[in-house]
Chains A and B, each alone.
Chain A
């Protein structure tokens, strides 16, 4: 079946450091890919998405490129802030409600 694998956390960075959170997926067909973010005590929020190969999703300084050849959708940010501390989830979707698959999440802590 479909699956999403994220780098294990927790990840701890200093403010203004470069961030990469790795995400790879296994799926047949052509899934859409998402990054969701969960701030402490809250539900998940959509951060960015890409619907086809080579698409780049971006939002709030975060970027991720849909790489079909490496089945990856790595999340990057050039300069993290303390306010970026959260849990980040990679997910893939193939259209139906039962076909939205989440990774296990990566905890990011940014220190001042």
Chain B
């Protein structure tokens, strides 16, 4: 199994609070991604990174920011959480963009 760890696995928070999700990899892969999974929508890309300090927006980036200060860590921040951000968040990594993504186990986030 690819070495991807997401933390926390579950989080409940209140509207308006900041939230940071962490993705840690031990594979030294260049590309890292954050997706959200919602019923009826499949997976949608929030942000991705193609190297340390190199990030770009995905399809649903509004309300989210990311940072990658080390190859192994990719952080997703919700600056002020809203109920529409209740979702399951998956981190993924790949050596080559879009080729054989490896996914973490996900973070279930509930914003009340």
- Decide if the interface of chain B is mainly helix, strand, loop or mixed: strand
Tell me if B70 counts as interface (CB < 8 A to partner A). no
Q: Which residue of chain B has its CB nearest to the CB of A99? A: B98
Minimal beta-carbon separation of A12 from chain B (angstroms): 18
Say which one of B12-20, B74-82, B99-107 lies at the interface with A.
Answer: B99-107
Q: A43 touching B104 by the CB < 8 A rule?
A: yes
Q: A98 touching B90 by the CB < 8 A rule?
A: no
| Interface set of B (CB-CB < 8 Å, partner A) | 4, 31, 33, 40-45, 48, 50, 56-59, 90, 92, 97-106
Given contacts A42-B105, A43-B103, A43-B104, is CB(A98)–CB(B56) below 8 Å?
Answer: yes
Say which one of A61-69, A76-84, A102-110 lies at the interface with B.
Answer: A102-110
Q: Which residue of chain B has its CB nearest to the CB of A43? A: B103
**Distance between Cα atoms of A95 and B42 in the complex (Å):** 19
Tell me if A44 counts as interface (CB < 8 A to partner B). yes
**Distance between Cα atoms of A44 and B104 in the complex (Å):** 8
Q: Which residue of chain B has its CB nearest to the CB of A45? A: B103
Q: 3 nearest interchain CB pairs?
A: A43-B103, A102-B42, A93-B98
Q: B58 touching A43 by the CB < 8 A rule?
A: no
